[in-house]
Amino acid sequence: MSSKNIKTISNPKLKLEVLTQDDVKKIHEATLQIIEKVGVRFPSKRALEIWAANGADVDYEKKIVRVKPQIIEDAIKKAPPAYKLAARDPQQDLQLDGNHVNLGTDGCGVEILDIHTGEKRTSCLQDVRDIARVADATEEVAFHWVSLSAQDTPAESRGLHELKAVWENSTKHVQTESVYNVEEAKAAIEMAALIVGGRDKLRERPVLSLMQCTAPPLGHDGGSLDAALLAAEVGIPTGFMTMAACATTGPITLAGNLAVGNAEVIAGTALLQLAFPGAPVFYAAAQTASDLRNGSYTGGGPEDFLFGAATNILADFYNIPLSMGAFATGAKEPNWQAGLEGGLSSFMASVAMSDMLLGCGFLHGSRIWSYAEMMMDCEIFSIVHKMMQGIEVNEETLAMDSIAAVGPGGHYLGQKHTRKHMRELFMPQFMDRRPYSEWETKKDDARDWALAKARKTLKEHQPDALDANISKEMERIIKSVEKK
């Protein structure tokens, strides 16, 4: 099943298993041991009470819970293996069923390379609107992660202004990582309910999903937990994302880092299942390594690529969908490093069939938005999409008639078989295959064309508008959480 004007990877022909079933078993056993012996921090009264009521050993002072493996394993089994992310336009609903890779925009950045001037500046609400509109038009982007922080809105309602901005500028599904306290979560649920005609409809049509970051190593944020519990209660898909980084927030070795991240995600997921059995949940990860010289989040590099391919094997083991971080780069401009890191990370996460792929558009460790980078990331996704179709071998594709007709020498340009299949070849938008002399006249490249496409899209694309009454009602909800 495909969604209207959305390109997703499905029915993959390529396969790569970076972890054997035995490796997965070892990581799983290590994870259970970590949760039982070392414990995971849950700094939320509500979360601690749920754990205590379900037989966990709760240290209320340190807010650390230690849980027997059986409790975790039984809880995880209650999570639904497949469900859909609903869109404002039902024809753009997305399947999280293990057979679709859906690309999202990256999110939570703080600066942007201005689409007109190219200058780097602090992000604002208008940027959230503009990016949503460009992403709405792009077939590669299947859903939105709230791209940038709307820093010109009040801190206490910022996550809500951002959601409204995306819904008003796109009909696609919206996921936010910027709603991490009870007040905003309640308001966000109310806002989502307006779109689908009531809270009770959200379970059937979740037009919003929530991503909560863990606090590695082995911790969660209190506000995030409370927000996640509220969302899970009404059937809004919720995931915990670990970004455990080798050497700083996780062990230096890749297997150890996977185990620590897994313990955070699995413990959080089990909590939601204990509270609301059957609630739609997903695994989320963007593990990385730390740079050994400055301690920074590398966002890219071979370790990240391996994590990208390994994590869906873990998520599959627990039989829940995965949202995987890809396209991260430390590059400061759309350049060799950005292309390399985007290409390899998205390929590795896609070949493992991660259900959600986050996300296109960022530079400098997911801090600076670039429209050119966004468009070029989309092209990378299209290339991976094409590669995942593999090589079809049958009578028609072996082209025996054509080969006989051309014979030794000659060419295939005049063959009907060529004409019939030519549009199956990948046609790039941003790759330079021109004669040298033609390039020499302008010396332009992918970055120029990608930016031009974004500018044109922003100018011309008009998404289906959100009902004005719903907008108004959303405005009222936002106002109600703002400080007087």
| Contact range with other proteins by CB under 8 A, out of 81-89, 133-141, 147-155, 234-242 | 147-155
Give the tokens for residue 180.
Answer: 């991490």
Q: Which is nearer to other proteins, 28 or 144 (CB)?
A: 144
Residues 178-197 that bind other proteins (CB under 8 A): 178
Select from 46, 369, 4 the least CA-distant residue to 173: 4
Q: Which is nearer to other proteins, 27 or 246 (CB)?
A: 246
Total number of residues binding other proteins (CB under 8 A)? Answer: 30
Q: Min. distance of Cβ 220 from other proteins in angstroms? A: 9
Sign of dihedral through CA atoms 214, 217, 223, 227? positive
256 lies in the binding site for other proteins (CB under 8 A)? no
Indicate the burial class of 99 (C-beta count within 10 angstroms; 0-12, 13-18, 19 or more).
middle
Select from 285, 189, 295 the least CA-distant residue to 248: 295
Our CA dihedral for 316, 318, 323, 327, rounded to 10 degrees, sits at -60
Give the contact letters, 306-345, x = binds to other proteins (CB under 8 A), - = no.
----------------------------------------
Find the binder of other proteins among 8, 249, 257, 370 (CB under 8 A): 249
Q: Which is nearer to other proteins, 182 or 247 (CB)?
A: 247
Q: Min. distance of Cβ 105 from other proteins in angstroms? A: 17
Task: Give yes or no for a contact between 248 and 214, defined as CB atoms under 8 angstroms apart.
Answer: no
CB neighbours (10 Å) of residue 228? 31
Find the binder of other proteins among 11, 15, 116, 294 (CB under 8 A): 294
Find the binder of other proteins among 121, 420, 434, 479 (CB under 8 A): 121
Give the position of tokens 């936002």. Answer: 478
156 lies in the binding site for other proteins (CB under 8 A)? yes
For 224, 382, 396, 401, 403, the CA distances from 410, given in Å and listed in that order, are 66, 32, 21, 14, 10
Instruction: Specify the amino acid at residue 133.
Output: R
| Contact range with other proteins by CB under 8 A, out of 27-35, 156-164, 302-310, 406-414 | 156-164
Q: Which residues bind other proteins (CB under 8 A)?
A: 43, 110-111, 121-122, 149, 151, 155-156, 158-159, 178, 215, 219, 221-222, 247-249, 252, 290-297, 365, 367
